[in-house]
Each structure stands twice: as structure tokens, then as C-alpha cells.
């Protein structure tokens, strides 16, 4: 396909499974799933139901539903907690929600922007958000003290975007919620493991296009009753979050392959080792760092000493993006003097191209 026709050009994604870059590339099996779904008609209600059963098996949960994104999964999960199975409330969600218990608790250090503010999904669902704790720490006692008759659930975010220090673990929050009978929702959109939450959370949201490497989609998995509440909203606020038959079959194909294409720690380190030649450039240091949240993800950190190098880290980010083939890195800390290279989304030949381009820029 001629990308020039559309005013587009390919980019190299060294930043991770990022929505702004289309998240993942799709395998032949996933594309075959798209063809199957797109080339036939189905009774959609039955397809949703049967696909949900398959997804639940993969997630080791009682029930599951496919949505068009992890964000949609959160919104539908929370809407379901407000209305439960009241048909009038489901149909008139935003009219009745202010008169119903509709409070979601979240630790302040988890109220993040992952490309959109997570609180937006809470308000979209008709709920109110109550922050607990502080930006530099929280205790389970803070959560317990914030519970009220209006509390319908606790939202826990598993993400490197969140504050990691001085925060209660998922296990600790889960134990509190179980003790107090409060539903726990986990946002695990980008987590590598999708089958380890059924004992801890009542509902969990995943991205179908990040670790699973499927099409743009989402999963909501959890207890049968809670998933039922969420599915009731599919024909109402969920209408704008509709997922098509081709996406469903693509995601099911990706789940069948799940885990078979994941780069091991050794493979990631082998790829990143090719960056080490940059250590010979004045003012440049390459170190390998594990993911901030402790996942088995490794990245190459390129540290720039602006007093010695040809440019600082922020200038480097701009020059990489402005090249004939733009290169996107993890540049969250460019203002602190370093950028990261994530090996997981790289295609064949990408690491060599990145290294060569970095040498061109940093050697002047």
C-alpha cells in the first residue's frame, strides 16, 4: 500500500505498546481472524455471549465481555455498579445516577493520565470519584476511613504511571474490600499476565491490543453478577463503545496465541545489547533498566550529559522524531536527561536503524 497516497509514513516504535502509535502489530493469525469476522454474518448477541465465555476461560474468571478498549471496560464496569439490574436506571443512567450511591474510591497516586485521565472514565459512567491518601503515599486505613454509604467500589490501577512507593499492594486492598464487602475493580490494561486476578478483584479491565497483541479492543473479566450488570449497558452508553465482529474474532485469535510471541527477558536484553556501542560516544551512557512496576520488561536507558554531548535529551527526542523515518522513544524523563528504548514493539532491523540514527545525531 502506498502510504504517500494518505499523507502517511511508517514510524519506528521504541516507546512500548502505546495507543498513539497504534499499540501493536498484528500477526497473520489475528489478521485471519479479522477476515473470518469481516467476511460473514453472525447473530451478534450470541457472538458476544460465546466470545465472552472463551475470554473468561483465558482470564480464569467466572465471566467476561469484550469491549472496544480497556477504558470502555472501566466505564461499563462502574456504570453496572451504579444501576445493577434496574432497567430504568440502565436506560436513564445519567438522570438517576446522582440520586443513587455512585462513589468510586481511588488512591490519589493512582489518579493518573494514561493518554486520557482515568477519572474521565469514572464520570462517564455516572459516578463520582473520591481520592484517598496522598500523592506520595497511602495506607489501607485511608481507604477504610473514606468508605461511606455512597461507596460502590474501589478502583485500583496496576501501571507504571502510578506512584509505586508507600502504596498498599493489590493484595492488601483486596483483603480490605473483601472484609468490607466493597467491589474492587482493577485497571490492568497493560499488564503482561491476564489470569492472576480472579481471586483478588471482582472485575479487571485489560487492553486487547497491548500484552495480548490483538486489535484495538478491551476485556472486562470478573464475577458473573458484576459482568452481567456491565453487559446491560451495552445497548445504552455502551453503544458508543461498540465492538465489531471482525475485532472479536481478531481478539480471540490473539488470545489463542497469547504468550507465544512474548519476548523473554534474555531476548529483550540481547536486543538492547546492540545499544552498548553508544557508550563510546562522548557524553553518552547506556544502562539497562527493569520496568518501574517490577514487570519482566527491560529497557535501554540512554543518559545524555548535555555538557559533553552534541545535544541534550529533549533535543535528541525531537531529532529522532523529525527523521525521514520517525523514531518514537519513551521520553517521559527527557527533561531529566535520559530517554528509554523499549525492545518489545521493535520489528526486524529496527534496533540497528535506531542505533545508527543515534550515532549520527550524537556524533554530530
Q: pLDDT of 220-270, one tens digit each?
A: 999 999 999 999 999 999 999 999 999 999 999 999 998 777 788 898 899
For the cut 90, the answer to whether the pLDDT of residue 319 exceeds it is yes
Q: Where does a domain end: 199, 223, 257? A: 257
In the chain, what is the greatest distance between 2 CA atoms, to the nearest angstrom? 68
Which three-class secondary structure state does DSSP give residue 329? strand
Q: Where does a domain end: 223, 257, 291? A: 257
Same domain, residue pair 119 and 133: yes
Question: What grid cell was written down for 175?
Answer: 483483603
The CATH number that applies at residue 338 is 3.90.1150.180
Q: List 94's β-bridge partners, or say none.
A: none
Which residue in this structure is represented by grid cell 464487602? 181
pLDDT mean across residues, the chain: 92
Which residue in this structure is represented by grid cell 459512567? 125
Phi, psi of 340, rounded to the nearest 5 degrees: -120, 150
Q: List 299's β-bridge partners, or say none.
A: 289
Query: Using 50, 70 and 90 to split pLDDT, how confident is the model at 188?
Result: very high
* Per-residue pLDDT, 11: 87
Question: What grid cell was written down for 291?
Answer: 520496568
Q: Which letter does DSSP use for residue 214 in this model?
A: -
* Per-residue pLDDT, 10: 84
Q: Are 185 and 74 in contact (CB under 8 A)?
A: yes
Q: Are 66 and 206 in contact (CB under 8 A)?
A: no
Region of 113 on the Ramachandran plot (φ > 0 left; ψ -120 to 50 alpha; else beta): beta
| pTM for this prediction | 0.86
Strongest mean pLDDT among 113-117, 201-205, 210-214, 316-320? 201-205
Same domain, residue pair 272 and 213: no
Q: What is the pLDDT of residues 157-170, one digit of tens each?
A: 998 888 888 999 99
Task: Name the percent of the chain lying above pLDDT 70.
Answer: 99
Same domain, residue pair 61 and 165: yes
Q: Identify which of 198, 193, 184, 187 has the alpha carbon closest to the alpha carbon of residue 162.
A: 187
Exposed, middle or buried: residue 258 (CB in 10 Å: 0-12, 13-18, 19+)?
middle
For the cut 70, the answer to whether the pLDDT of residue 1 exceeds it is no
CA separation for the pair 244, 233 (Å, rounded): 16
Region of 126 on the Ramachandran plot (φ > 0 left; ψ -120 to 50 alpha; else beta): left
Mean pLDDT of 84-94: 97
Same domain, residue pair 249 and 281: no
Same domain, residue pair 140 and 11: no
Same domain, residue pair 323 and 207: no
The CATH number that applies at residue 52 is 3.40.640.10
More confident residue, 332 or 72: 72
Same domain, residue pair 108 and 207: yes
Query: Using 50, 70 and 90 to split pLDDT, how confident is the model at 72?
Result: very high
Q: Other C-beta atoms within 10 Å of 127: how many?
A: 25
Q: What is the pLDDT of residues 131-145, one digit of tens each?
A: 999 989 999 999 999
Same domain, residue pair 72 and 190: yes
Q: What is the pLDDT of residues 268-281, one digit of tens each?
A: 899 999 999 989 88
* Per-residue pLDDT, 68: 94
Residue 284 parent element (H or E): strand 284-290
Same domain, residue pair 215 and 67: yes
CA separation for the pair 157, 175 (Å, rounded): 16
Q: Are 249 and 40 in contact (CB under 8 A)?
A: no
Q: Other C-beta atoms within 10 Å of 148: how many?
A: 10
The whole domain housing 267 covers 3-20+262-362
Total domain count for the chain?
2
Same domain, residue pair 218 and 314: no
Amino acid at each position: 500500500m502506498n502510504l504517500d497516497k494518505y499523507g502517511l509514513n511508517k514510524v519506528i516504535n521504541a516507546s512500548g505498546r502505546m495507543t498513539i502509535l497504534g499499540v501493536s502489530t498484528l500477526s497473520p493469525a489475528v489478521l485471519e481472524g479479522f477476515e473470518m469476522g469481516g467476511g460473514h454474518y453472525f447473530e451478534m448477541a450470541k457472538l458476544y455471549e460465546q466470545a465472552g465465555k472463551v475470554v473468561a476461560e483465558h482470564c480464569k474468571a467466572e465471566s467476561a465481555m469484550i469491549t472496544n478498549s480497556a477504558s470502555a471496560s472501566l466505564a461499563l464496569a462502574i456504570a453496572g455498579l451504579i444501576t445493577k439490574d434496574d432497567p430504568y436506571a440502565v436506560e436513564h443512567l445519567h438522570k438517576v445516577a446522582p440520586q443513587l450511591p455512585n462513589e468510586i474510591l481511588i488512591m490519589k497516586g493512582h489518579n493518573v493520565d494514561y493518554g486520557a485521565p482515568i477519572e474521565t472514565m469514572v464520570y462517564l459512567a455516572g459516578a463520582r470519584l473520591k481520592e484517598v491518601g496522598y500523592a506520595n503515599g497511602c495506607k489501607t486505613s485511608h481507604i477504610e476511613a473514606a468508605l461511606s454509604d455512597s461507596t460502590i467500589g474501589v478502583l485500583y490501577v496496576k501501571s507504571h504511571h502510578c506512584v509505586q512507593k508507600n502504596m498498599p499492594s493489590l493484595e492488601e486492598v483486596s483483603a480490605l474490600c473483601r472484609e468490607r464487602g466493597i467491589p474492587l475493580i482493577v485497571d490492568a490494561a497493560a499488564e503482561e499476565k491476564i489470569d492472576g486476578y480472579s481471586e483478588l478483584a471482582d472485575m479487571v479491565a485489560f487492553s486487547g491490543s497491548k500484552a495480548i497483541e490483538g486489535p484495538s479492543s478491551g476485556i472486562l473479566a470478573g464475577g458473573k453478577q458484576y459482568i452481567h450488570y456491565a453487559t446491560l449497558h451495552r445497548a445504552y452508553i455502551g453503544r458508543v463503545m461498540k465492538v465489531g465482529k471482525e475485532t472479536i474474532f481478531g481478539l480471540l485469535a490473539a488470545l489463542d496465541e497469547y504468550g507465544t510471541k512474548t519476548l523473554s527477558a534474555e531476548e529483550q536484553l540481547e536486543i538492547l545489547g546492540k545499544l552498548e556501542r553508544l557508550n563510546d560516544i562522548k557524553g553518552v551512557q547506556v544502562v539497562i533498566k527493569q520496568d518501574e512496576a517490577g514487570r519482566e520488561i527491560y529497557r535501554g536507558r540512554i543518559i545524555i550529559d548535555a555538557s559533553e554531548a552534541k545535544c541534550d535529551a529533549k533535543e535528541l527526542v525531537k531529532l529522532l522524531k523529525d527523521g525521514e523515518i520517525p523514531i518514537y522513544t519513551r521520553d517521559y524523563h527527557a527533561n531529566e536527561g535520559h530517554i528509554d528504548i523499549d525492545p518489545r514493539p521493535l520489528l526486524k532491523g529496527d534496533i540497528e536503524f535506531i542505533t545508527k540514527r543515534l550515532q549520527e545525531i550524537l556524533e554530530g
